[in-house]
Structure 1
């Protein structure tokens, strides 16, 4: 990192602990977005953005509400998606930050096999802390590559827990069980 960028990142009065807490909060925004997409919890996706957030995806540019309306039918037409976040780097500039997250996302169950694909992308996010809450102000979902998985999906090898997007996912059931304590 250059000296200029390092000095711009480090704010007077901030501590290493404050920076770590900010970076963790930003990372959790990215994780909530992925969980929301994969579990078809679009309120969780919306919550990853500020209300006036902007999103730029392949085939889409607009507000977070327009993004939700655009992505909903695409996700509902699939059996599922799974987003993995790898490299994640945050540059802090006070109450704004640049977050870059490498993602591999698999999509399956579109019916004709055309929607069975895996892609590599980077989420480049302008994050802002407003009223103490970090969220996406603007996102660029930069598609780096796509691979067709048509004809490669196989059924599960046996009985066992399966991910569900209807509110009965094992995560939801575990939360309910713990809440009942």
Structure 2
């Protein structure tokens, strides 16, 4: 009985760590936190964001500079997540909606390719190409996760797309509404919050 309770508690703790890992990835991307993003992958991990398998560290090298250059803000929202555990390996399917607020419609091709971008932008008046634009995608992360020395990280992450949406941004996007703004660096209010929780609170 005691061994059974211990095993169940161990599984609960593993699932909690994997849930935190999935959230840390989203936070790393949305806050453009390079160290946090890299900490979610093993150094030899592979990432496939729709263009085939590539080294995950190369993905990290590329993605945050791209987001800083082309996006005013991003938000990755995760929902349903199914995780199966097999010793030091885990497999997860997690639903995600990625919202991308582009500084200009001309940046759309960075995310969908030039042919798709031209097809999408052709449905809107030409002046919209220099105005902020929204690109959103719904999909699922298909993850292989490994535990090494007690730590869980992605060994292979694949993103499959279920739908995409793109249109001119609401004028409200650029309006200062007098509220605390989110930031994509350590000046974001969340860093002070977690730092105040003590050692290990901030990541």
Q: Name the TM-score class by shorter chain.
A: 0.7 to 0.9
Question: Secondary structure at 1:161's aligned position in 2?
Answer: coil
* Alignment coverage as a number of residue pairs: 169
* Structure 1 residue 109 displacement after superposition: 2.8
Report if the CA contact (8 A) 1:119-1:146 is conserved. yes
**2:139 aligns with one of 121, 133, 155:** 121
1:145 to 163, 171, 178: 163
Q: 1:28 aligns with which of 20, 23, 26?
A: 20
Query: For the residues of structure 2 that align with 1:171 and 1:38, how far apart are their CA atoms?
Result: 12
SS in 2 for 1:51: strand
What secondary structure sits across from 2:168 in the alignment?
A: coil
More helix by share: 2
1:106 corresponding residue in structure 2: 99
- Alpha-carbon spacing, 1:29–1:153, altered in 2? closer, same or farther (3 Å): farther
Partner of 1:46 in structure 2? 38
Local SS of the residue matching 2:92: strand
Tell me the secondary structure at the aligned position of residue 68 of structure 1. Answer: helix
Q: Distance in 2 between matches of 1:102 and 1:69?
A: 24
Tell me which moved more, 82-91 or 69-78: 69-78
Q: Distance in 2 between matches of 1:69 and 1:122?
A: 22
Do the aligned partners of 1:95 and 1:128 also contact (CA within 8 Å) in 2? yes
Shift of 1:29: 0.6
Shift, 1:24, TM fit: 0.9
Give 1:165 deviation, angstroms.
0.8
Decide which moves more: 39-48 or 65-74.
Answer: 65-74
Distance 1:178 1:23, change over 3 A: closer
1:84 aligns with 2:71: no
Match of 1:17 in 2: 9
Superposition deviation, residue 177 in structure 1: 5.0
Name the counterpart of 2:180: 161
Does the CA contact (< 8 Å) of 1:114 and 1:150 recur in 2?
no
Alignment gaps of 5+ in structure 2: 109-133, 199-203
**Structure 1, unpaired ranges of 5+:** 1-11
Q: Return the index of the structure with the highest Cα Rg.
A: 2
Shift of 1:162: 0.9
TM-score, normalised with respect to structure 1: 0.84
CA RMSD of aligned residues (A): 2.3
Match of 1:57 in 2: 49
Kindly state the Cα deviation for residue 123 of structure 1 after the two structures are TM-superposed: 0.5
Report the Cα distance in structure 2 between the residues aligned to 1:119 and 1:166, rounded to whole angstroms: 24
